[in-house]
Amino acid sequence: MRVRLVAGLLAAVAGTAIGAEPVAIVYSLSGSAWIQPSAGPREKAERFHWLSADTVIEVDADSTVLLALVNGNRYELGPRTQATLAQNGELRATAGPLRALPSVPPLPHLAPLAERPPARVGALRIRGARIARLYPNQGSSALPDQAVLSFEPFPGSASYKVQVEDESGNAVFSAETQTASILVSPGVLRPGTRYHWTVRSLGGAATGRAEADFETVGAENLAAREALRRTLEGAGDATSLALLAEVDGSLGLLSEARTGFAAALAKAPGDAALQCALARVEQVLADAARDP
């Protein structure tokens, strides 16, 4: 399911077909530009386009593109610039002004868009009244030591029993909560691991139940994200915060992406692209919560 969530969050994945690995992102766009992938039609660039190798970028007159490569290099492509993303993750300009910007730590590794197997095959479906809006849900990701499991309050419930199981069905976390969210104790979840969790209401006239799957971000990506977060949050400008938010979304960290886009929009309230990005991640979260 994760491919559908990520593809829904990444509004434009130009030149990045199923099985292709993104090597760069358009993280700022003033004016207009065009993108020609190695296979497929030429299309208009949008902010937060992810690009694969051999993609050609053409910037229109009176326009500017800011491009971040997965290796951390960043560039400003000025008016009438034409450049190609090389296989090695570098950028080759064939026309127009190209200016190197201060680099950032390498972006987390983004796996090629491809179907992922579910966290547990053949899991027993919980029957009865359903608790709604579980998160993380349907292949979204969580930070191992900051995983908050949330859901919609169930009418009449005094408290909830929450349990997390690993792929073998072993319970690794179990707790009761009186609120509709709970932080999994730090140190319980392992990086790069898939989990299945259930919630059951307690103390009401009726019992509500629900279950969902999620995975934790891998150790390598955790380290890369943390280095990137320190740099971009330290910069504190809307463009940097938005870049971090989009990277979070690509990792399946939908809640963190929502928070990041909201913070960026607070600094640039009139930015239409940020408004669209925030609305997009809100929609993906809503769609995930509706999945059975």
| Residues comprising the chain, all counted | 292
The helices-and-strands tally (H runs, E runs) of the chain is 5, 18
Beta partners for residue 174, in sequence order? 163
Write down the pTM of the prediction: 0.87
SS3 category, 54? coil
DSSP state of 145: T
Beta strand pairing status for 74-77 and 64-69? antiparallel
CA distance 271 to 137: 30
Q: For the chain, which domains are there?
A: 11-101 (no CATH), 129-216 (2.60.40.10), 219-290 (1.25.40)
Q: Which residues, other chains included, contact 119 with Cβ-Cβ below 8 Å and sequence gap of 6+?
A: 139, 167, 194, 195, 196, 213, 214, 215
Q: What is the pLDDT along the chain (292 residues), one digit of tens a residue?
A: 444 345 445 444 444 555 578 899 999 999 999 999 988 899 999 999 999 999 999 999 999 999 999 999 999 999 999 999 987 778 999 999 999 999 999 999 876 544 444 444 344 444 558 899 999 987 689 999 999 999 999 999 999 999 999 999 999 999 999 999 999 999 999 999 999 999 999 988 889 999 999 999 999 999 999 999 999 999 999 999 999 999 999 999 999 999 999 999 999 999 999 999 999 999 988 876 665 4
Residue with the two structure tokens 């992406």: 257
